[in-house]
Amino acid sequence: MDSIIYVGLDVRHVGVFANRPEILLKLAARLRKGGHRLSFCYEAGPCDYGLHRLLAGCGHECVVVAPSLIPVKVGGRVKTIAATG
């Protein structure tokens, strides 16, 4: 049976690591042990599509999610950051 590990980037569960290709590829190799497929996702933003190109180029599934398309529970709070100055 083919098992999938879903990896949400910007989620601080596994830990914080530098946004460098060699470090991300090392993390992917560690997660793939045991023959798991990896499916990455991250929120579109300042990272651009470099992460997507890197991960997809290595054969991993990678989805870039537009913040405006993320479902929000009716009446749910939306966290915003107020600009100062």
3-state SS assignment for residue 22: helix
Check residues 2 and 57 and name the one with the higher pLDDT: 57
Quick check: is 82 in a domain? no
Helix residue ranges, H only, the chain: 21-32, 50-57
Q: Which domain holds residue 12?
A: 4-68
Quick check: is 77 in a domain? no
Q: What is the mean pLDDT of residues 34-51?
A: 84
Total count of domains within the chain: 1
pLDDT (0 to 100) of residue 11: 59
Quick check: is 51 in a domain? yes
Quick check: is 44 in a domain? yes
Quick check: is 9 in a domain? yes
pTM over 0.85? The answer is no
Q: How many CA atoms lie within 13 A of 60 on its CB side?
A: 27
Quick check: is 58 in a domain? yes
Check whether 83 has a pLDDT greater than 90.
no
Quick check: is 19 in a domain? yes
Q: Which helix H or strand E contains 18, and what residues bound it?
A: none
